[in-house]
Structure 1
């Protein structure tokens, strides 16, 4: 399956676009969060749910670590 009309890269690697499930997830993310389609597509490819998008766009050390209280 080609992606954007390209079948393989200059190095010969096959280009594969998003599958149907990723398209559906990206559309849902875009509708729920208001993210632009390219951003929603990346979030869908990385399997980041709309509820977890805050960790991506506004990360905080405490949210990302489990032992944040032990570090001074």
Structure 2
């Protein structure tokens, strides 16, 4: 008879690593990677970036990226 612990362990073993986890693992192997996931920039957004964002929004390209999970 399986215990709850072995059932959970079997289920977990079947889950693949997420893309973001692979990115964090890759970053851990790099020297001084830049982490853009938190904090506030201390400089203004470049005008070209603002224009590209406006153009994408005007073209209704303003959804979230696809996530699986």
Q: TM-score, normalised by structure 1?
A: 0.28
The higher-RCO structure (CA 8 Å, 6+ apart) is 1
Flag the structure with larger Rg. 2
- Structure having the higher helix fraction is 1
TM-score, normalised via structure 2 length: 0.29
